Chains A and B, each alone.
Chain A
């Protein structure tokens, strides 16, 4: 971990939990873009004030006529030459504003931005495109707006046309192009433009499949080029993971995660989960006011909710604690069944069984549970709880009364530097053993093997590892019940 990354990790709130801060290969390259403690606020007009009359009335009454909204607060980061730098964040988080500040369209209220080299911004594709001009004229106009001389555009013109696959249409007016052709032309200008720093805003999702593949090739190529720097703003986590060497996540005008692409992308996924949950809660409150039962609940069981009691971002060595709140007033036995759903890989990972947890308390009550996570690799999981009564027809079966879904389900995430991302079960919990001597176990698995062997031999090991080996064979979910 480099000195810089260390301070970065300390500064960023919440980052530590997620970030696997590692030394980037670009740390030694010169800084080409430096954003220093940038703050930006906008004046949002509270009343219509685009007229002299209103301005005069406001002035005489002493009304400000606007309220100030802080969009960016103390954004501070550096981009090194050759990096493929990702900026992610939810809508309204301030990333477009940041991009405009980087592109010098907006000026920051606080702090400064310094750029070294030619920065070519693409806030939008085809800036200045005019439908009345031909494709060729538009390329030249667009190019000159981006700051290229006619000679420079001459030099890259053929490349642009070839990339856009529009050779025979260049002398047609732009208004005769299909929308796909227009976008292709604009995008070709964007990526063939010979700038030192390319700033791209959500432009990856254009064109047909073949064109997408070309873009993909282009990005892969640019990523290899140590002289070109790309700053990419996107919602698409796939492309962030694929291309970016470094990323930051912006939320409510602040950098909430930075560094390693994977961890930032995961943090973003988590933020989306949280936002959805909040939205769900709001919707639920509305539903409650109107006296309608939310999805999955009914008058027999008006409350059923699963929620986390420990941190929602866990390590494999953690034990995840959660609670189920319910209200059930009918006499007779009833049970809670809990299913663990794997969001990323799909499928039900674990289920308690319908008749495992028999509830002792009727009425409004909360029961607490815990679950070891040492079996799993990284992933996003969701717990669904259903409330069941014995089926009168078949004593072995149960009928579902209610189920906690949507925001009443409990989502948690496992992130552990020791874990892998691909499979569900981690290598510490399960191994495939070769039979015979003709297979050598290498790499990470070999280390894990060695560690497990030590544990079995009774040698003292780290506390988490010990806890894991014992609970791995134990009960997966255990009641604490009150």
Chain B
């Protein structure tokens, strides 16, 4: 028991050290320093708000849609960033892995934790926009942490798989970049899901199945619980059967399990193959 505790306390110390360093280094040398971590999303969101909301008039007809859009984009950005940085983590930290012994899953976890910090800051910025848009918050906001944990589990599972593959095959980085785009447009992130479902027919049926994709499901849940419980379709309210929502949840668990398993099997050899 003591050994397990020792092992994880060491892992936690290393994790804290790495996350802290990465965060410190992120805005190193810039004039405004850490302030950028808030300023950057604030400015980016302002641009997107104007372009998508006012200029392109991308909307599902509800006044809160611009905020919903921001929430979706920054949630997706978290997945994209965590997996891309996580993918490179093992190779980028190769010098560490070759020289000291420490639980090497830490470097991947720390990469996703770094993105989690950005996500938290982004959510705060979204909250500011939401307040300006007179969003009515409900008790469902309390469910948000669960959704965020699911999103993190998804990102971590993918990051573990990709970083393992990347240690052997550098092609993965490029493949994943392209796949990211595909997934991005295959999910209702910049377009509202109702935009497709309202058209009816075959496409509407297919669109509903987009919600079985755990990433789409999580992002829709986040939007639903955080901003717009009335207007956002989720896997919970689109299908009549109780077992349908279990599919994306199960997929999340399976993805994370596969990630951990693949990583563990190969992690002994990382120091040698790099």
Interface residues of A (CB under 8 A from B): 42, 50-53, 55, 100, 103-107, 121, 123-124, 127-128, 130, 132-133, 137, 140-141, 144-150
Is B168 touching A121 in the complex (CB atoms < 8 A)?
Answer: no
Q: How far, in angstroms, from A49 to B21 measured CA to CA in the complex?
A: 34
Q: Is B99 touching A123 in the complex (CB atoms < 8 A)? A: yes
* B169 lies within 8 A of A146 (CB): no
- Complex CA gap A46/B249 in Å reads 44
Of the residues B17, B28, B169, contact of A140 by C-beta under 8 Å: B17
Please give the residue numbers on chain B whose beta carbons come within 8 Å of chain A beta carbons, in ascending order.
Answer: 9-10, 13-14, 16-17, 21, 24-25, 28-29, 95-102, 168-172, 268-269, 271-272
Bound complex: CA A467 to CA B20 (Å): 75
Contact of A132 among B17, B29, B98, B269 (CB under 8 A): B29
Specify which of A100, A105, A141 is in contact with B21 (CB 8 Å cutoff): A141
Q: In the complex the two chains form, is B268's CB within 8 Å of A146's CB?
A: no
Q: Please, which residues of chain B bring their CB within 8 A of the CB of A104?
A: 101
Select which of B10, B100, B171, B271 is within 8 A of A127 by beta carbon. Answer: B100
Q: Is the CB of B14 within 8 A of A51?
A: no
Cα separation A128 to B21 with both chains bound (whole Å): 10
Complex contacts, B100 vs chain A, CB 8 Å: 103, 105, 121, 123, 127-128, 145-146
- Choose from B17, B28, B269, B272 the contact partner of A145 (Cβ within 8 Å): B17
Q: Chain B residues near A52 (CB, 8 Å)?
A: 169, 171-172
State which of A50, A55, A132, A148 has its C-beta within 8 Å of the C-beta of B25.
A132
Question: Interface residues of A: mostly helix, strand, loop or mixed?
Answer: loop
Query: Besides the contacts A105-B99, A105-B100, A148-B13, what 16 more A-B pairs have beta carbons closer than 8 Å?
Result: A51-B171, A52-B172, A100-B98, A107-B268, A107-B269, A127-B99, A127-B100, A132-B28, A133-B21, A133-B24, A144-B14, A145-B14, A145-B102, A147-B14, A149-B13, A150-B13
CB contact between B170 and one of A50, A107, A123, A144 (< 8 Å): that residue: A50
Shortest distance from the beta carbon of B20 to any chain A beta carbon, whole Å: 8
Q: How far is the CA of A216 from the CA of B106 in the complex (A)?
A: 36
- For the residues of B in contact with A, the DSSP-based class is helix
Minimum Cβ distance to chain A for residue B161 (Å)? 15
Per the bound structure, the CA–CA distance linking A103 and B101 in Å amounts to 6
17 contacts between A and B (CB under 8 A): A50-B169, A52-B169, A52-B171, A105-B97, A105-B100, A121-B100, A127-B95, A127-B96, A128-B96, A128-B100, A133-B24, A133-B25, A140-B17, A144-B16, A147-B14, A147-B102, A150-B13
Contact partners of B14 in chain A: CB under 8 A: 144-145, 147
Instruction: Write out the residue numbers on chain B whose beta carbons fall within 8 Å of the beta carbon of A105.
Output: 97-101, 271
CA of A53 to CA of B169, assembled, Å: 9
Q: Is the CB of A145 within 8 A of B24?
A: no
Question: What is the CB-to-nearest-CB distance from A96 to chain B, in angstroms, rounded to a whole number?
Answer: 11
Q: Determine the residue in chain A with the shortest Cβ distance to B98.
A: A105
Query: CA separation between A140 and B271, bound complex, in Å?
Result: 24
CB contact under 8 A between A147 and B10, given known A105-B271, A106-B271, A137-B24? yes
Contact B272 A51 (CB under 8 A): no
Return the chain B residue nearest A40 by Cβ.
B272
Kindly state the separation between the CA atoms of A130 and B96 in the bound complex, as whole angstroms.
12
Closest to A43 in B: B272
Which residues on the A side are within 8 Å of B268 (C-beta)?
Answer: 107
Q: How far is the CA of A150 from the CA of B25 in the complex (A)?
A: 20
Contacts of B169 in A (CB 8 A): 50-52, 55
Shortest C-beta distance, B101 to chain A (Å), equals: 4
Contact partners of B17 in chain A: CB under 8 A: 140-141, 144-145
A146 to B, closest residue via Cβ:
B100
Bound Cα distance from A124 to B271, whole angstroms: 14
Contact of B13 among A42, A100, A147 (CB under 8 A): A147
B39 to chain A, nearest CB (A): 21
Closest to B17 in A: A144
Distance (whole angstroms) from the CB of A174 to the closest CB of chain B? 12
Enumerate chain B residues within 8 angstroms of A144, measured Cβ to Cβ: 13-14, 16-17
By beta carbon, the residue of chain A nearest B269 is A107
Min CB gap A461→B, angstroms:
58
A146 to B172, CA, bound (A): 31
Q: Which residues of B contact A146 (CB under 8 A)?
A: 100
The residue on A at minimum CB distance from B21 is A141
Q: Which residue of A lies closest to B104 (CB)?
A: A105
Chain A proximity of B199: nearest CB distance (Å): 39
Closest to A173 in B: B28
Tell whether, in the assembled complex, residue B29 and residue A124 are in contact, meaning their CB atoms are under 8 Å apart: no
Chain B residues lying within 8 Å of A50, measured Cβ to Cβ, are 168-170
Report which of A121, A141, A148 forms a contact with B101, defined as CB distance below 8 A.
A121
Which 3 A/B pairs are nearest by Cβ-Cβ distance? Answer: A144-B17, A104-B101, A52-B171
A333 to B29 CA separation, bound complex (whole angstroms): 83
A147–B102 CA distance with the chains assembled, in angstroms? 8
Report yes or no: B96 in contact with A51, Cβ–Cβ below 8 A: no
On chain A, the residues within 8 Å of B13 by CB distance are 144, 147-150
Tell whether A145 pairs with B96 under 8 Å between CB atoms, given A42-B272, A55-B169, A140-B17.
yes
Highest count of chain B CB atoms <10 Å: which of A121, A124, A145: A145
CA distance A133 to B18 in the complex (A): 12
Residues of B within 8 A of A140 (CB): 17
Instruction: Give the chain B neighbours of A123 by CB distance below 8 A.
Output: 98-100
Contacts of B272 in A (CB 8 A): 42, 106
Instruction: Give CA–CA (A53, B175) in the complex, Å.
Output: 13
Q: Is the CB of B10 within 8 A of A130?
A: no
Question: Once bound together, how far apart are the Cα atoms of A51 and B168, in whole Å?
Answer: 8
Q: How far is the CA of A104 from the CA of B269 in the complex (A)?
A: 11
Cα distance, A127 to B93, chains bound together (Å): 11
With a CB–CB cut-off of 8 A, which chain A residues contact B21? 130, 133, 137, 141
Residues on A with beta carbons closer than 8 Å to the beta carbon of B99: 105, 121, 123-124, 127
Indicate the member of B29, B100, B168, B272 with the most A CB atoms within 10 Å. Answer: B100
Residues of chain A lying within 8 A (CB to CB) of residue B28:
132
B266 CB to nearest A CB, Å = 12
Chain B residues with CB under 8 Å of A100's CB are: 98, 271
* A146→B102 CA distance, assembly (Å): 8
Given the complex, which residues of B lie within 8 Å of A133, measured CB to CB?
Answer: 21, 24-25
Determine if A130 and B102 form an interchain contact, defined as CB atoms under 8 angstroms apart: no
Question: In the complex, what residues of A have CB within 8 A of residue B29's CB?
Answer: 132
Closest to A54 in B: B169
Q: How far is it, in angstroms, between the C-alpha of A127 and the C-alpha of B170 when the chains are bound?
A: 25
Instruction: Find chain A residues with CB under 8 A from B98 CB.
Output: 100, 105, 123
A144 to B21, CA, bound (A): 11
For A128, the closest partner residue in chain B by CB is: B96
Report the bound CA distance from A128 to B18 in whole Å: 9
